[in-house]
């Protein structure tokens, strides 16, 4: 092999190593457990993000509860994380496959237990409490807790953003789900046919509210996600909309 070819080969190998090293820099360390079968109903049908039945919210069983530092008082609801089990030959699935989950719940701390035994979600520990179905794709179910790596990824959703109405004549609340791209909503506005754009406040999770009577007028929504992108959907709900109904608007595009 000539000197030129050898030099070129070394350059290619070094460049490839740098690319691999750069890609791995996106990954952060955490731990993961899964909810027991008897407890999984709470993760699937309730949750601190307000999604209710997450199957209806389009998130299915690929969901997870986040520890305090990750949950960030509910602002992380709807965000997508790629997770893989690492550094445990006994419990990790061979090849360390990854899975993408949606943040749908809060993993509450238990300061009566050590962070190394039971207090997995104690601050400032980074931890994912996954559904059993999601956990089983990266680790063996016999494991109590496994070391993982995670990174934020863009959310791939089918269909548009969904808006579920609730409240009364003087308190209007909307739950926004099926949010693509960043997944997490950081600001929201609503507009009736007889109003201007009204800023909404986060009530809890991804429930947003305002103290305005918006009945008997078509409604439009403006949603801003964590990257700063804003999506406006006009006349999503017709004038005869009712509480507890769900309407579909546009979806974020890359």
Q: Kindly report the CATH number assigned to the domain that includes residue 231.
A: 2.60.40.760
> Three-state DSSP class for 164?
strand
- Averaged over 154-173, what is the pLDDT? 94
Residue 225: closest CA among 158, 128, 172, 155: 155
Domain end residue (candidates: 125, 150, 175): 150
Residue 17 domain-assigned (yes or no)? no
- The answer to whether residue 138 sits within a structural domain is yes
Q: Average the pLDDT over each of 5-9, 72-76, 237-241 and give the range with the smallest value.
A: 5-9
User: What tokens does 147 get?
Assistant: 């070391």
Question: Model confidence at 8, in pLDDT bands (50, 70, 90)?
Answer: very low
Secondary structure in 3-state letters for 45-114: HCCCCCCCCCCCCCCCCCEEEECHHHHHHHCCCCCEEEEEECCCCCCECCCCCEEEEEEEEECCCCCCCE
pTM of the model: 0.84
One domain, residues 196 and 96: no
Structural domain of 201: 159-247
Residue 21 in any domain: the answer is no
Task: Tell me if 51 is assigned to some domain.
Answer: yes
Q: Are residues 115 and 192 in the same domain?
A: no
pLDDT at residue 9, rounded to an integer: 43
Query: Among 150, 173, 191, where does a domain finish?
Result: 150
CATH number at residue 90: 2.40.40.10
- In a domain, residue 13? The reply is no
pLDDT tens digits for range 112-150: 998 878 899 999 999 999 988 899 999 998 998 999 999
Total number of domains constituting the chain: 2
> What average pLDDT does this structure show over 200-217?
95
Give the tens place of pLDDT for each residue, 18-32.
333 334 459 999 999
Q: Are residues 52 and 119 in the same domain?
A: yes
Alpha-carbon distance 231 to 244, whole Å? 23
């Amino acid at each position: 092999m000539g000197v030129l070819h050898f030099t070129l080969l070394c350059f290619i190998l070094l460049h490839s190593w740098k690319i691999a090293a750069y890609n791995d820099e996106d990954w952060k360390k955490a731990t993961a457990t899964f909810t027991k079968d008897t407890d999984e109903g709470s993760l699937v049908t309730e949750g601190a993000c307000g999604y209710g039945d997450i199957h209806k919210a389009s998130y299915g069983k690929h969901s997870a509860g986040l520890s305090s530092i990750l949950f960030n008082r509910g602002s992380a609801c709807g965000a997508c994380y790629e997770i893989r089990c690492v550094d445990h030959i006994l419990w990790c699935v061979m090849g360390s496959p990854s899975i993408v989950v949606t943040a749908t719940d809060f993993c509450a701390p238990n300061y009566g237990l050590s962070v190394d035994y039971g207090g997995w979600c104690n601050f400032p520990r980074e931890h994912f409490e996954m559904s059993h179905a999601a956990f089983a794709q990266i680790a063996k179910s016999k494991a109590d807790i496994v070391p993982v790596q995670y990174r934020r990824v863009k959310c791939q959703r089918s269909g548009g953003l969904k808006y579920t109405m609730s409240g009364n004549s003087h308190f209007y609340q909307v739950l926004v789900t099926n949010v693509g791209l960043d997944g997490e909503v950081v600001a929201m506005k609503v507009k009736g046919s007889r109003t201007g754009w009204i800023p909404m406040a986060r009530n809890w999770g991804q429930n947003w509210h305002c103290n305005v009577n918006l009945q008997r007028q078509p409604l439009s929504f403006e949603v801003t996600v964590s990257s700063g992108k804003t999506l406006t959907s006009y006349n999503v709900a017709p004038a005869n909309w009712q509480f507890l109904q769900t309407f579909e608007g546009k979806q974020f595009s890359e």
